[in-house]
């Protein structure tokens, strides 16, 4: 969930609703100029939450292009976008958070 209650200080909160640890959770947000900013959140235990100030500028008048990815306990990589899509990633798409962003927004 994005929190835009403080102007110029947008943050996102992650909640692990799964039964296993989200391993190497990271997100990528696209700035209005098209630059990508990546941030590593780390591991997130089941039921745990983590808040992070978004790296990079966000324009509140435009749709947010944000993707987060993590591995499960079996090493499978999944990515989700802020607009509600999810995807299992393999190979090069799973290599980095930026690669996951490119897979979700080709």
pLDDT of residue 64: 85
Task: Give the model's pLDDT for residue 6.
Answer: 64
Q: d(Cα 96, Cα 102) in Å, to the nearest integer?
A: 10
Domain that holds residue 71: 2-104
- The predicted pLDDT at position 59 comes to 73
Would you say 72 and 20 are in contact if contact means Cβ atoms under 8 Å apart? yes
Question: How confident is the model at residue 45, as a pLDDT?
Answer: 97
| DSSP 8-state class, residue 93 | G
pLDDT at 8: 64
Residue 3, pLDDT score: 63
Give the 3-state secondary structure percentages of the chain, helix then strand then coil, rounded to 5. 10, 40, 45
pLDDT digits (tens, 9 = 90+) for 45-78: 999 999 988 766 677 678 889 999 999 989 999 9
What is the number of structural domains in the chain? 1
pLDDT tens by residue, 2-44: 665 565 677 889 999 999 999 999 999 998 888 999 999 999 9
Report the pLDDT value the prediction gives residue 10, as an integer from 0 to 100: 77
Cross-strand partners of 22: 44
- Quote the pLDDT of residue 20: 95
| CATH value at residue 47 | 2.60.40
Check if the beta carbon of residue 3 is closer than 8 Å to that of residue 39.
Answer: no
Alpha-carbon gap, residue 96 to 104, rounded angstroms: 13
């Amino acid at each position: 969930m994005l929190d835009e209650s403080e102007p110029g200080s947008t943050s996102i909160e992650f909640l692990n609703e799964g039964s296993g640890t989200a391993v190497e959770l990271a997100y990528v947000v696209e700035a209005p100029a098209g630059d990508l900013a990546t941030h590593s959140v780390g591991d997130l235990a089941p039921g745990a939450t983590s808040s992070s100030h978004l790296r990079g500028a966000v324009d509140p008048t435009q749709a947010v292009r944000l993707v987060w990815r993590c591995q499960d306990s079996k090493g499978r990589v999944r990515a989700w976008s802020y607009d509600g899509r999810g995807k299992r990633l393999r190979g090069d798409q799973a290599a980095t958070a930026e690669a996951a962003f490119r897979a979700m927004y080709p």
